[in-house]
């Protein structure tokens, strides 16, 4: 059932148009902020966060495309859940007002992902079994070893960076435990165990997107192919709900970008305005 929001209809005509226009505005902010924060490496938190936001906005645009062009309700809902996960990570890590904790969570988050890569690569390369040309096998061995070395180097960098922060000297024992389990979701530094970490549902609640947070877990029904994902939905009005959830998430990113970066990017130009509202 389609329940129109008067403000959205008046300004944009439809919820998908509203979502696309907010994404355009966000991308203009990111483009301008990139001139101030051009570095996207792990050791540049503002630049890394910008690239994270860019990736998340690309997911939102893909979601609109899947809904409008493919009319694929299951994938649309799965993408809403992906979007919610990414935005909740931005909220927990990069919207943190305490700079020291922001940097700590960021480095732990990077370590967690890279450590997973190391775990998957630890048993490779396998011994040569003759199923592929030896030259190909040897090239793959070199590639795997380089990936391992890069991942291990990243973990070492993050560990050393954490131990160089003032926060580490104030909470050394607790942070050592947090680093050990890569617990970037910790609730308080003095309770470093995984059991004291935020759940995904709790992270959704932190977004405070007009009481929608509890619903994002529901979209896992579509991610994991549970029974409700088999219900046939053929009416395009059915897409209003997941698109509305996506709009609320992109709206959160928009507010985050304005708060964190807009003070440093200078005035908007006419070229910027045309990117936000393209001429017809």
Instruction: Tell me the pLDDT tens digit for each residue of 93-130.
Output: 999 999 999 999 999 999 999 998 888 888 877 788 88
Q: Is the pLDDT of residue 4 over 70?
A: no
Max CA pair span of the chain: 66
In angstroms, how far is CA 244 from the centroid of its own chain?
19
pLDDT digits (tens, 9 = 90+) for 152-205: 999 999 999 999 999 999 999 999 999 999 999 999 998 777 778 999 999 999
pTM comes to 0.89
Indicate the pLDDT class of residue 210, thresholds 50, 70 and 90.
low
In angstroms, how far is CA 97 from the centroid of its own chain?
18
Please tell me the distance from the alpha carbon of residue 173 to that of residue 147, in angstroms, as a whole number.
31
Q: Is the pLDDT of residue 260 over 90?
A: yes
More confidently predicted of 276 and 140: 140
Mean pLDDT is lowest, of 83-87, 104-108, 140-144, 168-172, for: 140-144
Rg (CA), the chain: 22
In angstroms, how far is CA 169 from the centroid of its own chain?
30
Highest mean pLDDT among 167-171, 232-236, 237-241: 167-171
Question: Strand, helix or coil at 126?
Answer: coil
Please tell me the distance from the alpha carbon of residue 174 to that of residue 252, in angstroms, as a whole number.
32
Please tell me the distance from the alpha carbon of residue 184 to that of residue 92, in angstroms, as a whole number.
9
Residue from 34, 28, 46 nearest 96 by CA: 46
Q: Is the pLDDT of residue 23 over 80?
A: yes
Which pLDDT does position 10 carry in this prediction? Answer: 59
More confidently predicted of 15 and 191: 15
| Torsion angle, alpha carbons of 109, 187, 202, 179, to 10 | 30
Which pLDDT does position 9 carry in this prediction? Answer: 57
Q: Is 240 left (phi over 0), alpha (psi -120 to 50) or beta?
A: alpha
Q: Is the pLDDT of residue 212 over 70?
A: no
More confidently predicted of 228 and 115: 115
Which pLDDT does position 151 carry in this prediction? Answer: 93
């Amino acid at each position: 059932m389609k329940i129109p929001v008067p403000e959205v209809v008046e300004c944009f005509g439809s919820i998908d148009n509203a979502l696309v226009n907010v994404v355009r505005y966000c991308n203009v902010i990111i483009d301008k902020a990139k001139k101030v924060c051009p570095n996207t490496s792990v050791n540049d938190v503002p630049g890394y966060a910008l690239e994270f936001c860019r990736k998340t906005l690309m997911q939102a645009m893909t979601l609109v495309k899947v809904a409008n062009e493919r009319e694929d309700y299951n994938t649309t809902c799965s993408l809403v859940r992906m979007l919610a996960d990414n935005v909740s990570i931005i909220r927990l890590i990069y919207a943190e007002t305490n700079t020291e904790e922001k940097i700590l969570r960021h480095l732990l988050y990077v370590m967690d992902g890279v450590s997973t890569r190391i775990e998957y690569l630890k048993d490779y390369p396998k011994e040569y079994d003759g199923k592929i040309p030896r030259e190909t096998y040897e090239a793959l061995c070199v590639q795997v070893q380089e990936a391992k070395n890069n991942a291990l180097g990243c973990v070492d960098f993050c560990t050393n960076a954490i131990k160089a922060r003032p926060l580490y000297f104030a909470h050394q024992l607790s942070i050592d435990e947090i680093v050990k389990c890569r617990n970037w979701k910790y609730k308080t530094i003095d309770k470093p165990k995984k059991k004291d970490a935020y759940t995904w549902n709790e992270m959704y609640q932190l977004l405070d997107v007009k009481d929608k947070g509890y619903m994002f877990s529901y979209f896992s029904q579509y991610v994991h192919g549970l029974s409700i994902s088999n219900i046939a939905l053929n009416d395009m009005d059915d897409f209003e709900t997941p698109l509305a959830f996506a709009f609320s998430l992109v709206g959160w990113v928009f507010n985050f970008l304005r708060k964190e970066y807009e003070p440093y990017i200078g005035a908007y130009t006419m070229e910027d305005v045309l990117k936000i509202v393209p001429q017809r």
